[in-house]
Amino acid sequence: MRKSCIISIFFFLILNSYLPSSQLLAADFSSDAEEDLLFANIDSVYTASKHEQKITEAPARVSIVTAEEIHRYGYPTLADILGSLPGFYVSYDRNYSYIGVRGFGLPGDYNTRLLLLVDGHRVNDNIFDSMYSDRAFIVDVALIERVEVVRGPSSSLYGSNAFFGVVNVITKKGRDLNGAEVSGAAGSRESHQGRLSYGKRLQNGLEFLVSGTFYESDGDDNLYYKEFDTPETNSGVAEDADDDKATNLFAKIAFADFTLNALYVEREKGIPTAPWGSEFNTSDTRSWDDRWYLDLNYQHLYDSGIEVNGRLFYDRYIYEGDYIFDYGPPPDIVTNKDSDIGEWWGAEVHLSRNFFKTHHFTIGGEFRDSLKQEQQNYDRYGLWLDSNPDINSWGLFIQDNWNILANLIFNMGLRHDDYDSSGSSTNPRAALIYSPFKKSTFKLLYGRAFRAPNAYELFYHDGYSTAKPNPELDAETIESFEFIWEQRVTENIRGSASVYRNEIDDLISYNQDPSDGLYFFDNLGNAQATGAEVSMEGKWQNGWLTALSYTYQHAKDKDTGARLVNSPRHMIKTNLLVPLFDEMLQGGLEVKYESGRKTVDDRNTARNYITNVSLASSNIVPGMTLSATVFNLFDDGYDYPGSEEHTQNMIKQDGRTFWFEATYLY
């Protein structure tokens, strides 16, 4: 930790000495006009309250990552974007990436406690409630305009899965390209990517953007796992079993008050870790994920002042998994197959209006009808699982944003949801937001949220006798208290600090029944997390951007006091963007420190320091942008905890890798 602190302080000293002193003057010495201009430039967020508001007025701790930052840091996936933010951390088991939030990243959880939206559309599927953040994410990150991240329970607006927060990915429009764009990229381990996009806004108001992306990687061709280090299992080396392939298609058409979105992704991934006791060192154990949806959105502000937002959508998700087992003795190599199909449609609507100049009132609801939730497991010996429940849901919500005084806001919301699987749940949120000075804002927040058990957790079992269902699962709930202080330090530097406490009841987690050795999901008990987040960020007109954050999080089993698995206690993150050579190049630097995480066998991974560097250019050749990124610059060796289905309690992560990309806009 000491090394990371020294590096972070060093960056800030460089920044302070480089910039002209006039740019570092405190806002106290600036004119009233400059004060007003600064306030006008405060970022706005939509996701926190389902209407546009300044971040300082939002009833939550909010982070925003822009397209410029994504490009200049060279983030290849949504997981990399989220992993750069305070309170977020990433795990990877060589198949999927998982997002931990404020100390919670339980193994076996497919990101079910974060709600992922794309342009407001719910992306979590209806079988696993999964939120993919790796190459299985439904949008190429090059098409992202901004990512809004709202921390804290948000079931009062969004229902289930908005447990620890909401991530809303807002995509680009046709006008952002205004032409054709072609992109090619290459990186370590025979990785390649190509993209072709075209966007336009016509004189009649019609606007569209279409895009296609293909990605392919051989992966690491020699992965060593000491747990399999025997002559029978190739001395612990998995060869050519880590490949990755993905295709994304994107279309957005907007005219007048309507926007039609069509998104598709298919991904195939080799699994080198031999999970669930499957055979080691085979390229035939792999997973496939297909996800697509159609979304028709309507938004209109009427003369009466009522703003109406509505959407009608149809979604489909397909998962297939091949797992190679030896059913012997004698040797009997069998491919055990998982096949899941999710299909659903639904509608949402909400109305907003200002009343009496002090109230912003929002009311709305949504309905989701599951057409399919098929889960099958089979091999040549028979069909072991054939489940197709019908779990539908609906929800109604109401929210009032009340400006009690010019500098005092009270936000209150309430939502009632009903699920066929777990019954009903009613969840409130309340926030008191006070700005005693122009530069200071204090927020006192309370929220409650729930997560309904999904079809996978309720009904899955397989033919290899490793997992069994639990249809008696209850919904898990969280109650959260948070205090936030947001401070504008100078014209260019803003800071924030928060402390929180989360109380979770009926936590759903993977468990093993000692009577038969089978794994199943169960409401294991209660958990508690206490934490603090402190961050500073700076932006200068000459292109400098910097951020520094420290996170402390202590998540434990409330009944036993035991520390939760896969939960780092300390995290420090430093980000720096620097213009070079008269702004023809932009340099990026990201340094992340993370303390060790507890594993499922009660050991700890080692702490790690990860440094990423990037260079980006958009002016050397007209119309062309170039970027190059080196990840894990110092080739630091580190591990993440494996979940219960892995023999490996710690899974080694990638060393130094690189990625180069060239994009040309016609």
Domains and CATH numbers, the chain: 2-226+233-665 (2.40.170.20)
Q: Would the pLDDT of 521 be above 70?
A: yes
In this prediction, residues 131-157 reach a mean pLDDT of 97
pLDDT higher for 101 or 559?
A: 101
In this prediction, residues 166-180 reach a mean pLDDT of 97
Q: Would the pLDDT of 28 be above 60?
A: no
pLDDT, residue 462, reads: 76
Q: Would the pLDDT of 515 be above 90?
A: no
Q: Which of 242-251, 421-430, 539-548 has the lowest mean pLDDT?
A: 539-548
Q: Which of 24-33, 118-127, 154-163 has the lowest mean pLDDT?
A: 24-33
pLDDT, residue 261, reads: 98
- Dihedral (C-alpha) 74, 77, 79, 85: value to the nearest 10 degrees? 30
Residue percentage of the chain with pLDDT more than 70: 93
pLDDT band at 135 (very low <50, low <70, confident <90, very high): very high
Q: Which helix (H) or strand (E) holds 3?
A: helix 2-18
In this prediction, residues 336-348 reach a mean pLDDT of 97
Chain center to CA of 161: 12
Question: Pairing state of beta strands 97-101 and 258-270?
Answer: unpaired
**Mean residue pLDDT across the chain:** 91
Is 141 in a helix, a strand, or coil?
Answer: helix
* Residue 600 CB-density burial (10 A; 0-12 exposed, 13-18 middle, 19+ buried): middle
Q: Would the pLDDT of 3 be above 70?
A: no
pLDDT, residue 618, reads: 81
Q: Please check whether residue 291 is in contact with residue 264, taking contact to mean a CB–CB distance below 8 angstroms.
A: yes
Q: Would the pLDDT of 392 be above 90?
A: yes
pLDDT, residue 511, reads: 80
Geometric angle at alpha carbon 468, from 132 and 338, rounded to 5°: 50
For 470, residues 6+ apart whose C-beta sits below 8 A from its C-beta are 457, 458, 520, 521, 522
Question: Pairing state of beta strands 286-301 and 624-631?
Answer: unpaired
Q: How far is CA 16 from CA 536, 572, 613, in A?
A: 14, 20, 21
pLDDT, residue 465, reads: 64
Q: How far is CA 604 from CA 3, 114, 527, 627, in A?
A: 20, 25, 20, 36
pLDDT, residue 519, reads: 81
In this prediction, residues 120-148 reach a mean pLDDT of 96
pLDDT tens track for 48-100: 999 999 999 999 999 999 999 999 999 999 999 999 999 999 999 999 999 99
- C-alpha 110/C-alpha 97 separation (Å) is 9
DSSP assignments along 58-104, one per residue:
SSS-EEEEEHHHHHHHT--SHHHHHHTSTTEEEEE-SS-EEEEETTB
Backbone angles phi, psi at 7, to 5 degrees: -60, -45
pLDDT band at 463 (very low <50, low <70, confident <90, very high): low
Q: Would the pLDDT of 30 be above 90?
A: no
Q: Would the pLDDT of 423 be above 50?
A: yes
pLDDT higher for 433 or 17?
A: 433
pLDDT band at 37 (very low <50, low <70, confident <90, very high): very low
Closest CA to 79 of 660, 661, 653: 653
pLDDT band at 479 (very low <50, low <70, confident <90, very high): very high
Selection from 107-116, 517-526, 528-537 with the highest mean pLDDT = 528-537
- What would you report as the CA-atom Rg of the chain, rounded to the nearest whole angstrom? 25
In this prediction, residues 571-594 reach a mean pLDDT of 93
pLDDT band at 244 (very low <50, low <70, confident <90, very high): very high
pTM, whole model, 2 decimals?
0.92
For 322, residues 6+ apart whose C-beta sits below 8 A from its C-beta are 284, 285, 286, 287, 335, 336, 337
